[in-house]
Amino acid sequence: MAKSYSTVAVIGGGASGILAALTAAQEPARHVLLLEKQQRIGRKLLATGNGRCNLSNWNATPDAYFGSDAAFAAPALQAFSPMDTHRYFSRLGLLTVTEEGGRIYPLSDSSNSVLDVLRFALERAGVDLRCSSSVDGIRRSGSGFQLDVNSEPLNADAVVLACGGAAGAKLGGSTDGYRLAAQLGHRRTALRPSLTRIRTAPEYPRSLKGIRVQAKLCLTQKGEMLATSEGEVQFTETGISGPAGFELSREAACGGNGLLLHLRLLPYEEAGVRTLVDEKINAYPALYASELFTGMLHNRLGRVVVKAAGIPGELPLGVLSETQIAAAVSCCCDFRLPVLGVDGFDAAQVTAGGLETGSFSPETLESRLVSGFFACGEVLDIDGPCGGYNLQWAWASGVLAGRLGA
Ligand SMILES: Cc1cc2nc3c(=O)[nH]c(=O)nc-3n(C[C@H](O)[C@H](O)[C@H](O)COP(=O)(O)OP(=O)(O)OC[C@H]3O[C@@H](n4cnc5c(N)ncnc54)[C@H](O)[C@@H]3O)c2cc1C
């Protein structure tokens, strides 16, 4: 039997907290407080998608998500699908476009538009928005709760915890949510940074810094395949970044010895690359070997592949041996980088792990330990791949939690 709560406190003015507050405020007689510790709401939202906000993905079905019990996310994601996100934001006046891979962005290409329509909606709904309000404690008080907000007590009949996770510390990512939930008896799993840069042995990345390539990636450990991905990779000072690299960071974060990243640098099988290489050698036998991949790969990357194949760059193409040609083709189709680990929570987009979902009802997101206490978004042990999936989870779980069991 759903209870009617007259005062509801939502802790955290990020994506999930804003939608939880808007949903809870649909009951006109209810006083909904949105408590945000930063000076303004939605700071992380503004940084998403490189400032463009990849707000959802048409392929964000429940089977795409991760967590100790990923099926926990299904009821929320089914009740509020990418189509619902699309409709919801259209009703708020946001125009959107779909890009490659089903990624949904605002037509304006600016995350400000997303936050602006949400701010207008909060105002229209009469949500009592309180920024610079840090919640530092929570305890039971009668059948409701007492919060410590900037060391002052605040009472609420129900609480929605929407503090986000540890990722993106400079944008407000913190462990506050886990700490607050622990005060009510909730536990968390181990936390790992996900959707972050992979650090590789420094040999090549430094000379490749800034180069982008469309590649097929594969992560192996001692010969065993752990994960694959495909798409844009960007070489950085310390390793690789970009969506296809991010996809593998979850597994790469688990660490361990013998992790190897394999990149297929051209969209052809070995035989296809061999044909292209043979054509180049036949057409330009006097050209330096360092130019073997010129016109096929970024110049700097092409030279590094030749070097990685052990071929002296100043040899004329016409004198390359069969072994050298085969090595060059192989290096291009399977360019290997030993993995050292991943960048930490500061650089990560999302937290893998979070509050143990077994202690919450998947149908309502209400705590099984403390009635009237709900949680949503990244603070829970659910995370998604790169491409709008994490915001889709934040919106969907925010709406479900904001229904307060009704
Ligand atoms: C750089 C970057 C880019 C990203 N790009 C994308 C993308 O394009 N698409 C996508 O789907 N996902 C993206 N993500 C992930 C996505 O932003 C998050 O998963 C999502 O914002 C989580 O929403 P949330 O509401 O759970 O948490 P958050 O958005 O982190 O909001 C939590 C809020 O709670 C506040 N808070 C914390 N503790 C307290 C406290 N004690 N008292 C009061 N307030 C508190 C925080 O200040 C914060 O505003 C990106 C993340 C980062 C860091």
Retrieve residue 31's tokens: 């006083």
pLDDT for 329 = 98
Predicted pLDDT of residue 253: 83
Atom number in ligand 1 closest to CA 173: 30
* pLDDT digits (tens), the chain, 406 positions: 457 899 999 999 999 999 999 999 999 999 999 999 999 999 999 999 999 999 999 999 999 999 999 999 999 999 999 999 999 999 999 999 999 999 999 999 999 999 999 999 999 999 999 999 999 999 999 999 999 999 999 999 999 999 999 999 889 899 999 999 999 999 999 999 999 999 998 777 678 999 999 999 999 999 899 999 999 999 999 999 999 999 999 889 876 789 999 999 999 999 999 999 999 999 999 999 999 999 999 999 999 999 999 999 999 999 999 999 999 999 999 999 999 999 999 999 999 999 999 999 999 999 999 999 999 999 999 999 999 999 999 999 999 999 999 9
Q: Is the CB of 405 under 6 A from ligand 1?
A: no
Task: Take atom 34 of ligand 1 and give the residue whose Cα is closest.
Answer: 12
In this predicted structure, what is the pLDDT of residue 251?
87
Residue 11 near ligand 1, beta carbon < 6 Å: yes
Q: Report yes or no on whether pTM surpasses 0.85.
A: yes
Question: What pLDDT is stored for residue 172 in this prediction?
Answer: 87
Evaluate: CB of 391 within 6 angstroms of ligand 1: yes
Decide: 195 and 386 in contact? Cβ < 8 Å: yes
pLDDT for position 202:
76
Ligand 1 atom with the smallest distance to the CA of 41 is: 49
User: What's the per-residue H, E or C state across 224-243?
Assistant: EEEEEEEEEEEECCCEEECH
Going from the Cα of 343 to the center of ligand 1, the distance in angstroms, rounded, reads 18
Instruction: Please list, in sequence order, all residues whose beta carbon lies within 8 angstroms of the beta carbon of residue 57, skipping any fewer than 6 positions away.
Output: 82, 101, 102, 103, 104, 387, 388, 389, 392
Which atom number of ligand 1 is nearest to the Cα of residue 54?
Answer: 8
Q: Which residues contact 357 (CB under 8 A, 6 or more apart)?
A: 67, 68, 69, 72, 380, 381, 382
